[in-house]
C-alpha cells in the first residue's frame, strides 16, 4: 500500500507540491525513509542553496558597474534594478524555506521552530494579505518623488531603498505561500494591473515628478509599465482561464 509524506500537512505552501510525494509500493519503513531522503530532502536542500546563491549573486551585482548602468535612466532604475532586487529577496526567502524544511528532518528544534513560524504566518498573515499590504506600502513609499529622488542622490538612502526592496521580495514569498494555487496564478495579473495603472499615470502627467531624471524618461517608464501589463495580460490571462475552466471541464467529462 502506498503512502504519502508531506512537509506541510494541510498548510498552504509553494513547497507543498514539491515535497509531497507518493512512496513506491513494497518498501520497508527504513527503505521508505531512505527513498524520501534521497528523492525529497536532498533535492529540496539543493534547490534552497541554488536559490540563495542566485539571490546573493544578484545583490552582489549591485556592487559592480552594473548598478551605475541601471541608474542611467528612470526606466532601468525604477523597473529593472528594483525588480532584480525584489527577485533576489524572493529567492533568498524561498531558499531559506527549503533549507529550514530539510533541516527540520534532522533537528527536532528546527522542526518545532518551523512549525511555530508556520502557525504565526497562518495566524497573522491570512491569505497573504498582511505580507502583500506591507510590500505594497514599502514599494509605494519609494515611488513618492521626493523619496525616490533622495534615494538616487543620497548614498545612505539609496542603500535603504535597495534593502527595502529586498525585504519586499521576502514579503511576497511569505504572502505567496498563503495563497491557493489558482490564486497564485492570478496574483501576477493583479500586480500587472497595478503597474499598468501607475504607468498610465506617468504617461499622462505633464510635470516632471522625478527631478533627477528628464521628463522624457518619465514618459518612457510609463510606456514600459503599460507594455509590461499588456504582455502579462496576453500571456497569463489565457493560462489562468485554461487552468480555471479548461481543466475543470475536462475533469467533469470523466466524472
pLDDT by residue (tens digit) across 43-71? 889 999 999 999 999 999 999 999 989 99
CB 92 within 8 A of CB 57: no
Tell me the mean pLDDT in the region 191-218: 91
113 close to 199: Cβ distance less than 8 angstroms: no
Using CA atoms of 72, 77, 78, 80 in order, give the dihedral in degrees to the nearest 10.
120
186 vs 237: CA distance, rounded Å: 8
pLDDT band at 145 (very low <50, low <70, confident <90, very high): very high
pTM of the model: 0.80
* Better-predicted residue by pLDDT, 195 or 36: 195
174: burial class by Cβ within 10 Å (0-12, 13-18, 19+)? buried
pLDDT band at 139, cuts 50/70/90?
Answer: very high
pLDDT 10s digits, 68-122: 899 999 999 999 999 999 999 999 999 999 999 888 888 888 889 888 888 888 8
* Contact in structure between 177 and 232 (CB atoms under 8 Å): no
Residue 254 has pLDDT above 50, yes or no: no
Q: How confident is the model at residue 225 (pLDDT cuts 50, 70, 90)?
A: very high
Higher pLDDT, 31 or 253: 31
Distances (CA, A) of 17 to 14, 43, 217: 7, 13, 43
3-class secondary structure, 3: strand
Look up cell 475552466; give the residue.
Answer: 245
pLDDT tens string 231-248: 888 887 787 777 767 655
Q: Which three cell numbers stand for residue 179?
A: 495563497
Please report, for residues 140, 150, 187, 229, 230, the alpha-carbon distance to residue 194 in angstroms, rounded to integers and kept in the order given: 11, 24, 11, 8, 12
pLDDT in tens, 172-188: 999 988 887 777 777 88
Amino acid at each position: 500500500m502506498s503512502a504519502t509524506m508531506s512537509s506541510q500537512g494541510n498548510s498552504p505552501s509553494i513547497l507543498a507540491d514539491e515535497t509531497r510525494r507518493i512512496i513506491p509500493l513494497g518498501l520497508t519503513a527504513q527503505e521508505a525513509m531512505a527513498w524520501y531522503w534521497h528523492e525529497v530532502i536532498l533535492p529540496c536542500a539543493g534547490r534552497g542553496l541554488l536559490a540563495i546563491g542566485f539571490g546573493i549573486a544578484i545583490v552582489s551585482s549591485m556592487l559592480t558597474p552594473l548598478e551605475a548602468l541601471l541608474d542611467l535612466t528612470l526606466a532601468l532604475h525604477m523597473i529593472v534594478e528594483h525588480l532584480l532586487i525584489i527577485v533576489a529577496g524572493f529567492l533568498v526567502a524561498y531558499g531559506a524555506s527549503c533549507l529550514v524544511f530539510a533541516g527540520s528532518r534532522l533537528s527536532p528544534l528546527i522542526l518545532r521552530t518551523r512549525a511555530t513560524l508556520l502557525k504565526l504566518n497562518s495566524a497573522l498573515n491570512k491569505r497573504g494579505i498582511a505580507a502583500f499590504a506591507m510590500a505594497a506600502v514599502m514599494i509605494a513609499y519609494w515611488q513618492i518623488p521626493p523619496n525616490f529622488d533622495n534615494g538616487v542622490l543620497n548614498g545612505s538612502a539609496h542603500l535603504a531603498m535597495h534593502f527595502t526592496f529586498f525585504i519586499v521580495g521576502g514579503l511576497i514569498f511569505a504572502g505567496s505561500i498563503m495563497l491557493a494555487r489558482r490564486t497564485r496564478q492570478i496574483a501576477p495579473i493583479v500586480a500587472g494591473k497595478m503597474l499598468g495603472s501607475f504607468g498610465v499615470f506617468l504617461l499622462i502627467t505633464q510635470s516632471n515628478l522625478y527631478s533627477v531624471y528628464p521628463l522624457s524618461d518619465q514618459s518612457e517608464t510609463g510606456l514600459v509599465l503599460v507594455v509590461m501589463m499588456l504582455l502579462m495580460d496576453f500571456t497569463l490571462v489565457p493560462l489562468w482561464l485554461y487552468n480555471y475552466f479548461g481543466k475543470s471541464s475536462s475533469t467533469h467529462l470523466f466524472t
